[in-house]
Amino acid sequence: MNILENIARTLKLSVVLSVMLVFIGLAAGYTGYPLGDDVIWLAVLVIILSPFAGVIAATVSLALEKDRRWAVVGLTLIIVSIIGMTIAWIR
């Protein structure tokens, strides 16, 4: 499977998972189940993380194809993103 197919599959899977969690969260919320908001928060987190999952899929695919130069670029992007998330988490 090539790089583009790997990324496409990862992105679609993330969106489908997020939409499923939205429906579960809304159903739980409207039936009075206390964890409804938490499930929706998880759904939003999954959709927000989907492009990041795509970047990881791209980097792994590049590494597997032994395209070291661009795999390092992908790895740098992952590190920058993690630093950003850590800063936001600390604040």
Question: Site residues (CB under 8 A) for other proteins?
Answer: 3-5, 7-9, 11-12, 14-15, 18-19, 22-23, 25-26, 29, 37, 40-41, 43-45, 47-52, 54-55, 58-59, 62, 70, 73-74, 76-77, 80-81, 84-85, 87-89, 91
Reference 3, options 69, 79, 53, 54; nearest CA is: 54
CA dihedral 74, 77, 81, 87 (to 10 degrees): 140
Rounded distance, CA 7 to CA 25, Å? 27
Nearest distance, CB of residue 66 and other proteins, angstroms: 14
Nearest distance, CB of residue 10 and other proteins, angstroms: 8
Rounded distance, CA 2 to CA 9, Å? 11
- C-beta closer to other proteins: residue 33 or 37: 37
Nearest distance, CB of residue 1 and other proteins, angstroms: 11
